[in-house]
Structure 1
Amino acid sequence: MFYPFFFDPTIILLLPALFLAIWAQMKVKGAYAEYSRVATIRGIRAQDAARMILDSHGLRNVTIEPVPGNLTDHYDPRSKVLRLSEGVYNSASIAAIGIAAHEAGHALQDMDGYAPLKLRNMIVPVANLGSGLAFPLFFIGFLFGSPTMMDMGILFFLGVLVFHLVTLPVEFNASGRAIKVLAGTGMFTQDELYGAKKVLDAAALTYVAATVMAAMQLVRLLALRGMRND
């Protein structure tokens, strides 16, 4: 049986994942907005906190620099650069320092040779290729009745799902390292630790939502593949 692309019934499979993604975004925006207005007692800026964490672990070769955008913070393992977004870099808020500590956690993973991080870095090119080719290949095959092209699209998208699955332990582990370091250095009070954990837990939920969405997208492609053969 043939179902037009824009009106196929499998779209309902994505609704729970979509609601989860919306809820996760609301959670992270709410937590960030709340704790970005609360300065830490010690008044340390996020860039200085990240520097202290890196230096205390012998990572003086890792540089810290600002990057344009909102919540564009990331650690680049290739160039050994920790980049903090404009709203985080010079901020002394609980949210900013929590985010900076999280990114420093990725640098610590890199130093330790953390296996999931190494695996994620290896499959980034495959995931990027898959995200660009999966849907065009699948739906061209769907429209023209080509099982081979549909299967290629599914295979490419499987790489995207694997990337999301590998990302989960990487992000959760980085947050765990961040909270442990902040607690161990005495940089935060218990109340401040609670706020930082709330921000990082909300951010982690967005990765869970993205993984669920990818999984349901794969289920949808497989369902469409079966329908097209009917």
Structure 2
Amino acid sequence: MYGYYFDPTYILLVIGMVLSLAASAKVKGTFAKYSKVHSTSGLTGAEAAQQILHMAGITDVSVVAVAGSLTDHYDPRTRQVALSQDVYGKTSVAAIGVAAHECGHAIQDAVNYAPLNIRTAIVPAANIGSTLSWPLFLAGLVFSIRPLLTVGILLFSLAVLFQLVTLPVEFNASARALKMLGDNRLIAQEEVKGAQKVLVAAALTYVAALAASVLQLLRLIILAGGRDRD
């Protein structure tokens, strides 16, 4: 087993943390930059969302305000596009881009986009996996119970799978958003590029989260292998 004072697999955690922090800083910086660029259309995030939903023929989804910053999301259970205080009533390019992205998820839901359905279906298993994986793995590590190590790794793999399926869902929602904005001239063509930069930066946070989880999974496998050698 590794020395008491040093576990070389911690480097994998550090790499994952650096990637996540860098992605988070990137999205916050890009959002802040384009939050200062007001759209020539004068539409708020909420108004843009309502127009996009209307043009997509979606009449059973409401647009609501939610507290926090960058807490925007689409909830298929309540059929709501929830927009944060920096998006709902703001007329910036960043606000409209984020609002359009969340509407992209509503459109995915309306057309039964397969990756979204898969992600929704595995949410319960992913939640169980992220909750129980570490306690079981650590118990297996401490008490040298190989089956617990294996179960812990498999459960954590469910959480990694969820993040993997999330990528096409997020990229597709952004693509739908940018198409709706451009085709329907909700913002000027030159402003679409700004919205795209905001959404690309946001997408990088999901890529970083997946990379960090894969590195964490690799760490579990290495630790389990080290226990076997002992």
Question: Structure 2: 5+ residue runs without aligned partners?
Answer: none
Contact 2:41 2:188 in 1 (8 A): no
| Cα distance per residue 1:121-151 (max 9 Å; x no partner) | 0011111111111111111211111111111
Cα distance in 2, alignment partners of residues 169 and 2 from structure 1: 38
> 1:119-158 to 2 correspondence within 5 Å?
119-158=118-157
| Cα distance per residue 1:21-40 (max 9 Å; x no partner) | 22211110110010111110
Cα distance in 2, alignment partners of residues 109 and 12 from structure 1: 38
Specify the alignment match of 1:62 in structure 2: 61
Specify the alignment match of 1:98 in structure 2: 97
Specify the alignment match of 1:215 in structure 2: 214
Name the Cα RMSD after superposition: 1.2
AA aligned to 1:186 is: R
Cα distance in 2, alignment partners of residues 3 and 83 from structure 1: 48
AA aligned to 1:198 is: K
Specify the alignment match of 2:7 in structure 1: 8
> 1:45-194 to 2 correspondence within 5 Å?
45-194=44-193
SS of match in other structure, 1:177: helix
Aligned length: 229
Specify the alignment match of 2:27 in structure 1: 28
AA aligned to 2:193 is: Y
* 1:196, distance to aligned residue in structure 2 (A): 0.3
* Greater mean alpha carbon deviation, residues 84-93 or residues 160-169: 84-93
Cα distance in 1, alignment partners of residues 164 and 107 from structure 2: 21
Instruction: Tell whether 2:191 aligns with 1:206.
Output: no
TM-score normalised by L of structure 1: 0.96
Question: Structure 1: 5+ residue runs without aligned partners?
Answer: none
Residue identity (%): 50
TM-score normalised by L of structure 2: 0.96
Cα distance in 1, alignment partners of residues 125 and 66 from structure 2: 25
Cα distance in 1, alignment partners of residues 118 and 3 from structure 2: 38
Specify the alignment match of 2:18 in structure 1: 19
* Greater mean alpha carbon deviation, residues 148-157 or residues 218-227: 148-157
| Cα distance per residue 1:174-213 (max 9 Å; x no partner) | 0000000000001111221111000000000000000001
